[in-house]
Amino acid sequence: MLYLVEMDVNIPESWSEEKLQDYITREKACSQGHQKSGKWVYLWRVAGKYSNVSVLDVESPDELHQIISSLPLFPYMDINVKSLCKHPNAIRETMI
């Protein structure tokens, strides 16, 4: 199952630079682990924002939730999820 996931990160202003860097380091390791597994297929930065647009290929909504909620910055995100399916006019079988 393919999902389009939009994540907007809202870092608390009270965080120290050290705390922020710790979260960023852990976030990178976690997201790259999911990318290497093949579950997190695409990851794009939204220009001008601390946001990303991603495509994940998972077996179930539960697996999607497990992956997203494993991110260290998950508690500080506004997340929008859309389920994807092939459009009948698409000329390619899949984007993956």
Instruction: Work out the average pLDDT over 60-77.
Output: 98
Asked if residue 49 has pLDDT above 80, the reply is yes
Question: Which CATH class for the 2-84 domain?
Answer: alpha beta
Q: Where are the domains of the chain?
A: 2-84
Model pLDDT, residue 50: 95
| DSSP class per residue in 27-83 | HHHHHHHHHHTTSEEEEEEPTTSSEEEEEEE-SSHHHHHHHHHTSTTGGGEEEEEEE
Give the chain's mean pLDDT: 95
Whether the model pTM is above 0.85: yes
How far apart are the C-alpha atoms of 27 and 55, rounded to whole Å? 17
